[in-house]
Amino acid sequence: MKNFDSFWMPFTSNRTFRNQPRLLERAEGVYYYKPGGEKVLDLVAGLWCCNAGHGHPKIVEAIQSQAAELDYAPHFNFAHTAAFELAEQLTGVTPAGLDHVFFTNSGSESVDTALKIALAYQRERGKATKTRLIGRERGYHGVGFGGISVGGIPYNRMQFSTALIPGVDHLPHTHLPEKNAFSRGLPAEGAYLADELERLVTLHHADNIAAVIVEPVAGSAGVLVPPVGYLKRLREICDRHDILLIFDEVITGFGRLGAPFAAQEFDVVPDMITTAKALTSGTVPMGAVFVADHIYNAFMERPGSAIELFHGYTYSAHPLAVAACRATQQVYAEDGLFDRARELAPVFEDALHSLADAPGVIDVRNYGLMGAVEMAPDDGAPGARGMRVLQAAFDAGLMIRITGDTIAFSPPLTIEAAQLEGAAEKLGVVLAQV
């Protein structure tokens, strides 16, 4: 391949990539394969999404069969039956009370959908002044204007700052390396950071705040694990002030932490959950917003027969995505992958923390099958060391994810303990060399 100009790659230095391209030809199980046939161990489940591994035959067959039977069906005033069956299947694993699903096509769309539902819900119940949205610093909620507005990653916002939606504020992030560095599991310090929501309520007044949105574990910012008690305290404050709580589980949903959702793992039930990625194990684009009964009922109990929510997508519950999702959920259940993630978590934890003394490492953090190894940046060149490690790891047969100078890990739930341990050994060599 000689021409790398036609495809404008997302979140990539295109000019750098064309000089040293990292190309993938195919995938199977927990491996990608380069064009020359060399194996690359997938330590990020593609992009936090291929929880069932690559090319699972049941999922492949379901997509192929569906394409031949029903390639597309609209969901504006029409529907196909499998979409209703999938919705019932999915609400069988959600936290109690989140019994309704709005289908989207991505995590970004799921977030914007949840924000719109939150605003419409407040208006629906006669509280139209509740319009302010609260996100969190270093939070990632996709790339829609709603998502980057409540998101807290500076570079994602910088080029679009004049067009971000008004009426948004942010909680502080929960990363406290001076107190919690090299924590295994939930860090001990930091639950008090949730009390910043009380300050924002005092500043803006509860009558003006519609919803708070957070990732239970912040992924794209470098796997920031919530302190013990933090999420429960957020829930309590939201309840006290009649504010909706939205969990962005686009990364943590469907087994990443050893439970269907982080909400169950941390025993904190939000009012909505946004999902995508592992919903179909990354095979066909799909997202979903799980909505609490009290929100759904507020729309359905209004008088008359008008459209309840003026929102939706051409490809909501696309037949191929529905087929992929149904098969994926079946694989998760039949293969016991959520339990497998929980069983592998201690092995994963030990493998990551074996890198604590590697050159340049300043922190290691983990929960479930999510983890990060943070490195000190080069003087005056943040991110440069991270990119060197990314390339060196790829050359050594490892696919990792870099956010700045932090290596993020989220392997398929099908990975073996020996593969995790071997990857840590290889990565230790890479860190020593760069």
Q: What is the CATH number of the domain that holds 257?
A: 3.40.640.10
227 and 245 co-located in one domain: yes
Q: What percent of the chain has pLDDT over 70?
A: 100
pLDDT tens readout for residues 224-249 = 999 999 999 999 999 999 999 999 99
Do 194 and 286 sit in the same domain of this protein? yes
Distance CA 409, CA 240 (A): 36
310 plus 360 within the same structural domain? no
Residue 421, in any domain of the structure: yes
Residue-wise over 204-242: b if at least 16 C-beta within 10 A, else e? eebeebbbbbbbbbbbbbbbbbbbbbbbebbbebbeebe
Look at the chain and report how many structural domains it folds into.
2
Of the candidates 314, 334, 354, which is a domain's last residue? 334
The residue range of the domain holding 202 is: 61-334
Are 341 and 196 part of one and the same domain? Answer: no
On whether the CB atoms of residues 370 and 257 are closer than 8 A, the answer is: yes
pTM of the model: 0.97
328 and 378 share one domain? no
Order of all β-strands in the sheet with 26-28: 26-28, 31-33, 39-42, 398-399
Residues 428 and 367 in one domain: yes
Stronger pLDDT, 303 or 348, i.e. the higher one: 348
Would residue 367 count as lying in a domain? Answer: yes
Residue 400 confidence (pLDDT): 98
Per residue in 333-372, pLDDT tens?
999 999 999 999 999 999 999 999 999 999 999 999 999 9
Pure H helices in 39-138 = 45-48, 57-69, 81-91, 107-124
Residue 398 lies in a domain: yes
Q: Do 134 and 275 lie in a common domain?
A: yes
